[in-house]
Amino acid sequence: MPDAVPDPVAVQPVVAPLTNAALILVGTIEPGGEDAVRDMLPDLPAVARSLGFRYPDAGLACVMGFGSEAWDRLFAGPRPAQLHPFRELRGPRHHAPATPGDIIFHIRAERMDVCFEWAAQLLDRLGGAVRIVDETQGFRYFDHRDLLGFVDGTENPVGADARSAALVGDSDPEFAGGSYIIVQKYVHDLASWNALTTEQQEMVIGRTKFTDIELPDDVKPADSHLALNTITGPDGTERDILRANMPFGSFGEGEFGTYFISYAADPDITEQMLRNMFLGSPPATHDRILDFSTAITGSSFYAPGADFFDAPPPAPALAGAEVLPEPASAPAPRATDPAMVPDEGSLRIGSLQESAPR
């Protein structure tokens, strides 16, 4: 039975449609920067509303997630049940590295300038508390193709199925509405790839290139990308994740690839796919796509529900602190005291809302 997501529940726009542009920022929190990160969290929804109001047709959506170690630095109390660091994989021929990442911003819009403005607003609030260790600007390539020339995301669930695949439900009720994120940056060897015939490429992927039709089981190789990324449960039903992959490239750097983004209610589904790809699943020794695509990053995060940002859990140092009574001799605060004057510049209101299902 699918993990049911309570309704209504405020969620980040995890299942927002793919857009023409995306900006993915992975950062590490500098020592002592925890308070600045926590102080920024209530501002996140207001920045979304401000930019969404100014650019209503931009399709702006941003998801923020936290790494396992960062969660313990930022928040006291319960943790998401399956949050853990990215698990490095070393296969006979290929390697999936684990790279630093305390927080992630996955920003999507139809315009890159709107993505840029969102990032600028957030990073300005963070000051020097966060160091960006990986920045990727993604773009839509023709009819949702990757730079290998194949349509990417054909089997993505939609509507209610997308919510079920991507959002935590009643299996972890305290964190219902959140999602586990796994990201990897893959760099393609396009010269070697383009040296293959179309038919050879199709055997690597498991689909036809131009018509995007899955190859029959008796034709599709066991080490094809599609074969190794199809995960079934004990009852034989296919277990889904939601992919938000984007192509990226730089002619100056000579770097071209795919930024893999997985949203899942159960991160083990994505992790099983990666184990199949890098460690093999007999009779396949590895995913053939890895002979042409090299993983250079790998990080895991948890994106909480939208209400989380309105009232984050207490900081670890404050979790068990005793609240002392105010001395009897202390004067009552006056309306002119700074602590009593409303902050007219505050953006700490509201919550993120899920975009309409595709």
Q: How far apart (Å, rounded) are the C-alpha atoms in residues 62 and 25?
A: 11
DSSP state of 268: H
Looking at residue 56, the DSSP 8-state letter turns out to be T
Strand positions, DSSP E, 30-129: 61-66, 89-90, 95-96, 103-109
Degrees (nearest 5) of the Cα angle 195, 197, 199? 150
Over its C-alpha atoms, the chain yields an Rg (Å, rounded) of 22
User: Which one-letter DSSP state was computed for residue 247?
Assistant: E
Please measure the distance between the N-terminal and C-terminal CA atoms of the chain and give it in whole angstroms. 23
Residue 154 backbone class (left: φ over 0; alpha: ψ -120 to 50; beta: rest): alpha
Strand partners, 247: 258
Contacts within 8 Å (CB) and 24+ apart, 340-347: 347/42, 347/43, 347/46, 347/47, 347/50
Return the DSSP state at 143. T
Cβ contacts of 247 within 8 Å, gap of 6 or more: 138, 139, 140, 141, 145, 146, 147, 256, 257, 258, 259
Q: Is 152 a catalytic residue?
A: yes
Distance CA 18, CA 294 (A): 24
Residue in 43, 134, 152, 240 annotated catalytic: 152
CA distance 274 to 281: 11
Q: Residue holding tokens 């193709």? A: 145
**In terms of residues, how long is the chain?**
358
Whether 165 and 158 have beta carbons less than 8 Å apart is answered as no
Which sequence positions are flagged as catalytic? Answer: 152
